[in-house]
Structure 1
Amino acid sequence: MKPGLSLRVSQHLSLTPQLQQSIQLLQLSTLELAQEVEQMLVDNPFLERDGDDAADVPMDAPAMEAATAESMGTSDNYSSESEYSSAQTASETIAEAPTAETPETLDWSGDGADGQDGEWGGESSSEWDGPSSSGSRKSDGDEETDAIDLAREHESLSDFLHRQALSLRLSAEDCAALRFLIESLNDDGYLEEPLADLAYSLACDDLEEREELEQRFAMALKLLQSLEPVGVGARDLAECLQLQLRDLIRLAEDEGTTAKHWDVLQLALSMCCQPMDLLARRDMRKLSSLCGAREEALREALALIARLEPRPGRRFVDVERHIVVPDVIVRPVRVGSGRMEFSVRLNTEVMPRLKVHDIYAGVLRRHKNSEGHAALQQRLQEARWFIKNIQQRFDTILRVSEAIVERQKNFFVHGELAMRPLVLRDIADALGLHESTISRVTTAKYMATPQGTFELKYFFGSGLGTETGGSASSTAVRALIKQFVDAEDTKKPLSDAKLADMLKEQGIECARRTVAKYREQLKIPTTTLRKAL
């Protein structure tokens, strides 16, 4: 093959580090952004939070230059770690000086060399002066007080059971076995692992010891199941319900009850001894055959079972409360002639207040020929990029939110039934952005509205055809299905086919299988389970 030379022209997209960081920040949630900001504040000495005590501290120039010159001249080659250590040394020197008032305005122009206040999205940069999500800190004493208060507010299931076990007179071995079982319970109060497996985990090779442990665990399990809440220590749902019914029967024996109620208790216990799938399906014919009771009596017993607690440890679970902090706030505003408009603004609570360290940047400009200047200049540029990318992130979120509000205005007035079909491409074409950008913006970003707080993705939905040739949003159709089910006769619940017919009467073409899919998304049970007893 004869060698030769040729020219070829091609195009390719290269993602610069600044663009990569911009994309990364855009897809982060509010919590993840706060964590990223904290990490950047640690890594980059030129970046600081506006309002820090060490910021803008008056210091004589010779002392500042000496500290910075020393930090830049300690080594010939600077890695990121050595640069950070040097900057920390200078920062400690600054912190010892008297503090001054923090400036009220935030300069987004970087090190303040040009002296211009930036405008962004039609809003003044002062909007970024809102409190940071992680800016407020409590004193050590307050933190200790809060921790004690939190500890007193909640008592776990294991703590509650251990406290009851103290009143039992047990040997050291039985007490240890009971404690072991208590610690083996899950959050719902169930003992999921078999006793044999628990014994094997403590005595793997010794068969005699395993058998002895299993016997002790069996005795400890009976003690555990006698404690409050009733049903704790059950191995499955059937045993949990049986324990609660036996407790009700004991109370009925002690306090007395009517013959009818006694029969219902006994029948309910008998039903819980049958396969649980029969109860789940409400198979009255099969249960009637197995329990030897009439269907009317079975319905009374089933109503009693429905009032039992399937998860005894429910009230002891310390559920972590995920408080959704909205990125955007929408508020109604009345304009002329009583017309309703909606103002869209960013939530200042989630906006980090950042700026470039003016003193560090100023000293760096005066030492352009110092060793390590290029490396530190790169860190300064990274700080400016980070601030600009955060600004661009919130700018994009605001633009997308305004476009959503403009297209879903009826939703903010009338609710879900007025939702219009909307896809990512509609917003992308309107704003001149890519669909992937809109997808990143609408993921894990929330909007507080008069109708509640929703993720931005909530406002997007496909459309279903109508008789008039238009389209109806899938969100509105789901809301309409829920409205139909809420108003149905519980003795004759609406089937999926009936719901499809009712939607057709409203002019919405929706197949039965689509109705079934929307019903499952709404977590609405089937007609069999919705039917009243």
Structure 2
Amino acid sequence: MTAITLRTEARQQTTLSPRLQQAVRLLQMSSTDYLQQLGELMQKNPFLEVEDSDGEPQVAPGSADPLAAAAAAAAAPETSEIPAVAESDATLGEATPLEGGDVMDSQELWQSDGSLGSGRGGGSEDGTSIFDRLQGEDTLAGSLHGQLNLLPLSPRDLALAHAIVDCLDDDGYLRIPLEDLTSVVAPDDPASVEELRIALRRVQSLEPLGVGATSVAECLRLQLPLIAGERERHLAEQIVCEHLDELAAHDIGGLARALRCDVVEIEAVCERIRRLDPRPGWRFGNAGIQYLTPDVIVKKVRGQWTASLNPAVVPHVRLNLVYAKMFERHRCAHNGELADHLQEAKWAVRNVEQRFATILSVAQEIVRRQKHFFDYGPLAMKPLGLREVAREVGLHESTVSRVTNNKYMATPMGVLELKYFFSRAMSTAGGGACTATAIRELIHEMIAAEDPTRPLSDGEITRQLGRQGLVVARRTVTKYRQSMQIESADRRRKLAWPAQESARSA
């Protein structure tokens, strides 16, 4: 019979505290996400402040530093939403002299129509508010709804057309079958498929042309009236409706044989079709372009490549010593929440210093080991592993992996991710080693210098690499070529064929 006993055992075990777990999570964030996270912390922590380059607290709300703007917005009182009075010489609670010598109270000035002063107030001479003149972001649905409201339609037809517009995706396509929209207007009086088809035709007649299509071919067909020539438009319709696959494959020769036309004419028609917009919905409400902000900038100073932190991503955050000393002087057991804020503020300042010091040390080691890359380009990239950098900078390999995640370096060759400089070694026939980056660059140069009439196949590229002492499998060459978005030899030959025919005809 098994007896149940109690036993005490002492054992050492490494555990991550919640604070350390958060530090690890913040370390692998991009600098943009980290600044946003730190800005949210500053909005609720009174012991943190932002300083400018002169060491003074930065309170200007229009500052370019996102942390400074966040801190200023958090510290600003609610009454700061009065731009007209704040920018004038008058202050709240004081009388403001007018041109005729009268005196207007500040409350009367705030309640006036804003015609006094330079027009920065809430109104203008025509009595309209400045907010009424602000143009909002136009959307595809808003534009289509506005066009439909101008059409002389019955309430039911207008409701069906509005329902079709609301079902369009961001590209301007209707991806939902009409059969699934029969009860979209009113469950008690569902619409027929024929009514919805008529409503869809009304939507497709709106601007921009191509909106409301159910496929790419239909989208292009709706835009064919933009082609002026009748014969050119007829050929374009045939290509779009019957030979869309050949058009996508750039098979000009196949299209010329199928349509029994001249190659030059087919090439001109295909070029006109390529000017059409396959995604008409993208003209409205496009999201802003997301730019990469490098964390490290590499420059050549006195013949040596050096890495330095980008000042735009380094937050100038510090501990508010006045508040900290005041709290320590009047500390009691009832303000435990403030004590937690103070401890969190100290940790945040240390975390900022440690984070960017780690990024800089890793970047400097990368630059030191890959100096030939900065001198000669990707062909001179040396094999480099995380363990080698971790050993030199005194960090764990996993820490280096987190540091290089979502971090970017501005180099003369462009903005590159830190992970780009790490590549495993590939042995050569002479006993040396090279990187996959160098092999990809070599493949790119071979294809760029090939004869367009006789493009190099992946097998031929493999044999040429072998003659240079690089043992690479053909499937590896195919993978590298596809990663560089280079077409296969057959596709490259077809792309070059129309140009050859045009030259022969000339």
- TM normalised by structure 2 equals 0.74
- Shift in Å at residue 242 of structure 1? 2.5
Contact 2:31–2:313 (CA under 8 A) maintained in structure 1: yes
- Of 360, 363, 368 in structure 1, the residue corresponding to residue 326 of structure 2 is 363
User: 1:252 corresponds to which residue?
Assistant: 229
Structure 2 CA distance for partners of 1:168 and 1:131, relative to 1, 3 Å:
closer
Match for residue 230 of structure 1? 209
Q: Which residue of 1 aligns with 2:67?
A: 134
- Taking a change above 3 Å as real, the CA distance of residues 317 and 379 of structure 1, as seen in their structure-2 partners, is closer
Structure 2: unaligned runs, 5 residues or longer: 58-62, 74-79, 84-119, 123-128, 499-506
Q: CA deviation at 1:422?
A: 1.7
What secondary structure is seen at the aligned counterpart in 1 of 2:16? coil
Question: Is 1:189 paired with 2:151?
Answer: no
2:300 to 319, 325, 332: 332
The match for 2:462 is: 500
Structure 1 residues 349 and 235, CA, compared in 2 at 3 Å: closer, same or farther?
Answer: same
Task: Please give the residue correspondences for 1:312-327 in structure 2 after superposition, counting only pairs within 5 Å.
Answer: 312-316=280-284, 318-327=286-295
Displacement after TM superposition at 1:169 (Å): 3.9
User: Could you tell me how far apart the structure 2 residues matched to 1:515 and 1:356 are?
Assistant: 55
Residue deviations 1:239-262, cap 9 Å, x none?
Answer: 1233334653xx434xxxxxxxx2
1:24-173 alignment runs, 5 A limit: 24-50=25-51, 104=55, 132-136=65-69, 151=135, 155-162=138-145, 164-165=147-148, 168-173=151-156
Q: Is the 8 A contact 2:243 2:255 kept in 1?
A: no
Q: Partners of 1:372 and 1:312 in 2: how far apart?
A: 61
Aligned to 1:180: 163
Is 1:221 aligned to residue 221 of structure 2?
Answer: no
Match of 1:347 among 303, 307, 310: 310
SS of the residue corresponding to residue 298 of structure 2 reads strand
For 2:312 and 2:254, how far apart are their aligned partners in 1?
A: 59
Could you tell me whether the CA contact under 8 Å between 2:252 and 2:263 is conserved in 1? no
Counterpart contact for 1:131–1:352, Cα < 8 Å:
no
Alignment of 1:209 with 2:202, yes or no, is no
- Contact 1:284 1:295 (8 Å CA) reproduced: no
RMSD: 3.7
Tell me the equivalent position of 2:395. Answer: 433
Give the secondary-structure state (helix, strand or coil) at the position aligned to 1:202.
Answer: coil
| 1:16 partner amino acid | S
Q: 1:385 to 1:284 in 2, by over 3 A?
A: closer
Partner of 1:123: none
CA distance in 1, matches of 2:7, 2:248: 75
Partner Cα separation in structure 1 for residue 159 and residue 430 of structure 2: 73
Pick closer, same or farther for the CA change 1:148–1:298 going to 2, 3 Å.
same
Is the Cα–Cα contact under 8 Å of residues 185 and 191 in structure 1 kept in the other structure? yes
Could you tell which deviates more after superposition, 134-143 or 310-319?
A: 134-143
Aligned residue for 1:448, secondary structure, equals strand
Give me the TM-score of the superposition, normalised by structure 1.
0.71
Taking structure 1 as reference, are residues 233 and 407 closer, same or farther at Cα in structure 2, changes over 3 Å only? same
Residue in 1 aligned with 2:419? 457
- Structure 1 residues 341 and 511: alpha-carbon distance in aligned structure 2, compared to 1, 3 A threshold: same
Q: Name the CA distance, whole Å, in 2 between partners of 1:148 and 1:406.
A: 57
Q: In terms of mean alpha carbon deviation, does 324-333 or 268-277 score higher? A: 268-277
Structure 1 residues 8 and 220: CA distance shift in structure 2, 3 A: closer
Partner of 2:416, secondary structure, is strand
Tell me what 1:122 maps to.
Answer: none
Following superposition, the deviation at residue 298 of structure 1 comes to 9.6
Distance 1:135 1:489 in 2: 57
Q: State yes or no: 1:517 paired with 2:479.
A: yes
1:452-491 to 2 correspondences below 5 Å: 452-491=414-453
1:272-311 superposed matches below 5 A: 272-274=240-242, 276-277=244-245, 279-280=247-248, 293=260, 296=263, 300=267, 305-311=273-279
Partner Cα distance (1:491, 1:166) in 2: 56
- Partners of 2:472 and 2:262 lie apart in 1 by 37
Whether the 8 Å CA contact 1:367–1:373 is kept in 2: the answer is: no
Count of equivalent residues: 437
| C-alpha spacing 1:195/1:332, structure 2 compared with 1 (3 Å) | same
1:162–1:133: structure 2 CA closer, same or farther, 3 Å change rule? same
Contact 1:131–1:348 (8 Å) recurs in 2: no
Question: For the structure 1 residues 143 and 351, does the alpha-carbon distance in structure 2 shift closer, same or farther, using more than 3 Å as the test?
Answer: farther
Matched residue of 1:501: which SS?
helix
For 1:323, the aligned partner's letter is Y
Question: Does the residue aligned with 1:332 lie in a helix, a strand or coil?
Answer: strand
Partner of 2:60: none
- Ranked by relative contact order (alpha carbons within 8 Å, sequence separation 6 or more), the top structure is 1
One-letter code aligned to 1:44: N
1:339-363, Cα deviation, whole Å (9 max, x unpaired): x212211122222222222223223
Verify the 8 A CA contact 2:178 2:197 in the aligned structure 1: yes
The residue matched to 1:28 in structure 2 has which SS?
coil
Task: Tell me how far apart the structure 2 counterparts of residues 304 and 490 of structure 1 sit (CA, whole Å).
Answer: 24
- Deviation of 1:401 (Å): 0.5
AA of the residue aligned to 1:174 = D
Measure how far apart 1:42 and its partner are.
3.6
Is 1:12 matched up with 2:9?
Answer: no
Cα distance, 1:229 vs. partner? 3.1
More displaced stretch, 137-146 vs 268-277? 137-146
- Give deviations 1:437-463, integer Å, cap 9, x for gaps: 011101111111222112211211223
Distance 1:499 1:38, change over 3 A: same
User: Following the alignment from structure 2 to structure 1, what is the Cα–Cα distance between the partners of residues 382 and 34?
Assistant: 31
Corresponding letter in the other structure for 1:104: G
1:383 correspondence with 2:345: yes
- Structure 1 spans left out of the alignment, 5+ residues: 52-101, 107-129, 254-261, 335-339
Aligned partners of 1:155, 1:506: CA distance in 2, in Å?
57
Distance in structure 1 (CA, Å) of the matches to 2:183 and 2:454 = 53
Whether the aligned pair in 1 keeps the contact of 2:50 and 2:317 (CA below 8 Å) is yes
* C-alpha spacing 1:36/1:303, structure 2 compared with 1 (3 Å): closer
Letter in 2 for 1:349: A
**1:422 paired residue number:** 384
Q: Is the 8 A contact 2:295 2:408 kept in 1?
A: yes
Q: What is the CA–CA distance in structure 2 between the aligned matches of 1:361 and 1:505, rounded to whole Å?
A: 70
Deviation at 1:326, TM superposition (A): 1.6
Structure 1: how far apart are the matches of 2:420 and 2:47? 39
Q: Aligned partners of 2:132 and 2:33: how far apart in 1?
A: 28
CA contact (8 A) 2:173 2:214 kept: yes
Matched-pair contact (CA < 8 Å) for 1:417–1:480: yes
Q: How far 1:522 moved relative to its partner? A: 1.7
Task: Tell me the distance in 2 between the aligned counterparts of 1:506 and 1:186.
Answer: 52
**CA–CA distance in structure 2, aligned partners of residues 283 and 452 of structure 1:** 35
Identity percentage of aligned residues: 40
Q: Which amino acid aligns with 1:217?
A: L
Equivalent residue of 1:135, what SS? helix
Distance 1:191 1:246 in 2: 21
Structure 1 position 161, deviation (Å): 3.9
